[in-house]
Amino acid sequence: MLCALLIDDEAHNRDTLRKLLERHCPHVSVEGEAVSVSEGIGAIRTLKPDLVFLDINMKDGTGFDLLQSLGPPDFRIILISAFDKNTLMEVKRSGMLFLTKPINPIELIAAVNHAENAGTHNFL
């Protein structure tokens, strides 16, 4: 069972992702949620998740800000974004996993499987 944390500033996006994970990735247990970069940092330190679903753009900063403040991650990361194709192209070139909103269940399954098999990475 993978312990997951959802970090997104929009409640409906977290709710949708939680439901998709319950339905399509039953081996992923959502153990917490955060609505901002600062709250996400605290949740990561407290929960020590295996997998973090991280929105790129939030009201108090970006997912990249969060990652830089933590140092090398000891968890798997799947970035999520609704827009900003230039950012997504940069993410794709970096090799990080990402999903676009609205999240396609088939892409979610593939990303979770890849994250599970890839282990942790230091992308910074």
pLDDT tens-digit profile of 53-85?
999 989 999 998 999 999 889 999 999 988 666
| Domain assignments of the chain as residue spans, ordered by start | 2-118
pLDDT tens-digit profile of 78-106?
999 886 666 666 676 667 888 989 999 99
pTM of the predicted protein model: 0.91
Q: Under a CB-based contact definition with an 8 Å cutoff, are residues 67 and 84 in contact?
A: no
Question: Distance between CA atoms of 111 and 100, rounded to whole angstroms?
Answer: 11
> Which class does domain 2-118 fall in?
alpha beta
Residue 33 has pLDDT above 90, yes or no: yes
Question: Distance between CA atoms of 95 and 40, rounded to whole angstroms?
Answer: 22
Percent of the chain, pLDDT > 90?
70
**In 3-state terms, the chain is what percent helix, strand and coil (to 5)?**
45, 25, 30
